[in-house]
Amino acid sequence: MDRVKSLEDLKKLREQALEKRKLKTASGEVQIIVGMGTVGIAAGARETLKAILEFIEKENLSGITVRQTGNIGWDSYEPIVQVVIGDQPKVTYGKVTPDVAIRIMKEHVLNGQVVKDFMLEG
């Protein structure tokens, strides 16, 4: 829809916006948080986020909420991804390239095995 020409067009636009907002705020059992601060973006966080979203779409996964946040505070380990599954403690991963992100999705998110090679502790 290029232009709003009538009240009906405006209502359709409103419904579309509300639906997008609903999808963004829907909570799932799994939360994936990607650090998108300046350092993260410079280190490749956009590509990491893109890989995660493409994996979710490709595998047709549901119940996963992907959020972006600012700087997580571990600059030298960017891009950083945090995974929260249900009531389990949050796991923070560092130096998450798109390939590492896919590995985290397969091993941790789908199979419940923490990927210790990239896990940050502290």
The contacts of residue 119 (CB under 8 Å, 6+ apart) are: 91, 92, 93, 94
Q: What is the pLDDT of residues 51-69, one digit of tens each?
A: 999 999 999 998 899 999 9
Question: In this model, does residue 18 exceed pLDDT 90?
Answer: no
pLDDT score of 4: 84
pLDDT score of 24: 54
Domain boundaries, the chain: 28-120
Confidence bin at 16 (pLDDT 50/70/90): confident
Q: How far, in Å, CA of 93 to CA of 104, rounded?
A: 9
Mean pLDDT score of the chain = 90
This prediction has a pTM of 0.75
CA nearest neighbour of 86 among 101, 104, 106, 64: 64
- 28-120 in CATH: which number? 3.40.30.10
